[in-house]
Amino acid sequence: MNTDFLSPVNERVVAQLEEQSPDTLGRNIKIYSSQNDFPDLEDVGVALIGVKEGRNGIDNLGCGEDLTKIREAFYKLFIGDWNLTIADLGNIQQGSAVKDTYFAVAEVVSDLVKKNIVVVLLGGSQDITYANYRAYDVLEQTINLVSVDSHFNLGALEDELNSESFLSKIIMEEPNNLFNYSNIGYQTYLNSQQEVKLLQNLYFDTYRLGEVVREIQLVEPILRDADIVSIDIGSVKQSDAPANNNANPNGFFGDQLCSIARYAGISDKVTSFGVYEYNSMLDGNKQTSNLIAQALWYFVEGVNFRAKDYPFSSKESYQKFSVILEDDDPINFYKSDKSGRWWMEINLITDNKYRRHALIPCAYEDYLKAIEQKIPERWYKAQQKLT
């Protein structure tokens, strides 16, 4: 791959590794530093990349300028019972213009995804999600994006691309490779009703903070269907993650963020995962950097324990349940013998570019709803987009 866009990890962070236990992450991962050449990627499963770009971040000046505290915290964590090879490939520095940084991110992510390496991006402002999305253009497939955020970040159509308007650019600009967008944790009073209705009319999925907090397991099928996961650290309440100038009193607790990260990790489809809007200038007690490091740990653990049961390889590995709905075709449900997870199927009339979306992750409760003659909402929305 082209390594010209990447600069080594800060040598001060690497030098501290000698003082750490040999069982810590920092002593067991491949690190691109001035002392070590760019690592061999042959057996790498997860690659960590910092993106030091925050010029299009709104009201969070300084985000992305310094990511060393996150790395220090991550390196100090003890490695799990994993057989996964992890690499830290350093940082993508600011380009002459923000669009140059976007180009670099898209190129690097694209190269890694094509090598079947799961990419972890540390930002930087959340508009980097747009560059991450553009990395999938060369793959010529439609993708699903999940954002963990208290805002939708739609902005106005005339707005320049920034951390508060990147979603509208993803939805509107060509080439349009977006099949589905899901928001986890939006707070209604921070988003206009016009935006809420727009996303509903597009058959996208939105989940209010309250319903997710009451039942965190709700997000597992959502994340199981994602290709890209984008987390705004501002979705975590200020008391748990103060290093964000836009943090507010309500949001997820730190342990809930870690649960979300692990669900993203165990998803067989997720190929890139980003955490954005961290501002080291506001992280005097290192609370936020420690939380992000722990969320990354849970994501990596999830990747290590992927069941690899999506898409299903043979019908023999699944139990099939068909539910007949009145005046409609049956809905076929599949339960994995390997993981116990559920999917529901949409029968496509033709074999088209949406084929990979015809099998929708779901929960056992969706099967029970279908038995009660209630069409599962996720099935209905997907049906509207596929047919």
**Whether residue 141 is found in the same domain as residue 26:** yes
Q: What is the DSSP letter of 239?
A: T
Report in angstroms the alpha-carbon separations of 23 from 16, 76, 84: 14, 9, 14
**Whether residue 334 is found in the same domain as residue 229:** no
The boundaries of the domain holding residue 358 are 315-386
Domain boundary among 278, 304, 330: 304
Q: Is 192 helix (H, G, I), strand (E, B) or coil?
A: coil
Q: Which residues of the chain have pLDDT under 70?
A: 311-315, 348-353, 387
For residue 354, the model assigns a pLDDT of 73
**Whether residue 236 is found in the same domain as residue 150:** yes
For residue 357, the model assigns a pLDDT of 78
In a domain, 309, yes or no: no
**Whether residue 328 is found in the same domain as residue 288:** no
CB 241 within 8 A of CB 288: yes
**Whether residue 100 is found in the same domain as residue 235:** yes
- Please name every residue paired with 335 in a beta bridge, in sequence order, or none if there are none: 319, 342
What is the CA angle 21-77-263, rounded to 5?
150
Calculate the dihedral angle through the C-alpha atoms of 31, 32, 35, 41, rounding to the nearest 10 degrees: 90
Q: Is 0.85 topped by the overall pTM?
A: yes
**DSSP string for residues in 127-182:** THHHHHHHTTGGGTS-EEEEEE-SS-----TTSPSSTTTHHHHHHHSSS--EEEEE
Domain boundary among 285, 304, 323: 304
For residue 36, the model assigns a pLDDT of 86
What is the CB neighbour count within 10 angstroms for residue 314? Answer: 6
CATH at 81: 3.40.800.10
Domain boundary among 270, 304, 338: 304
Distance CA 53, CA 63 (A): 8
Number of domains within the chain? 2
**Whether residue 297 is found in the same domain as residue 326:** no
**Whether residue 214 is found in the same domain as residue 324:** no
For residue 359, the model assigns a pLDDT of 87
For residue 315, the model assigns a pLDDT of 63
**Whether residue 293 is found in the same domain as residue 338:** no
Q: Is 249 helix (H, G, I), strand (E, B) or coil?
A: coil
Which tens digits make up the pLDDT trace of 45-73? 999 999 999 999 999 999 999 999 999 99
- Please name every residue paired with 46 in a beta bridge, in sequence order, or none if there are none: 86, 118
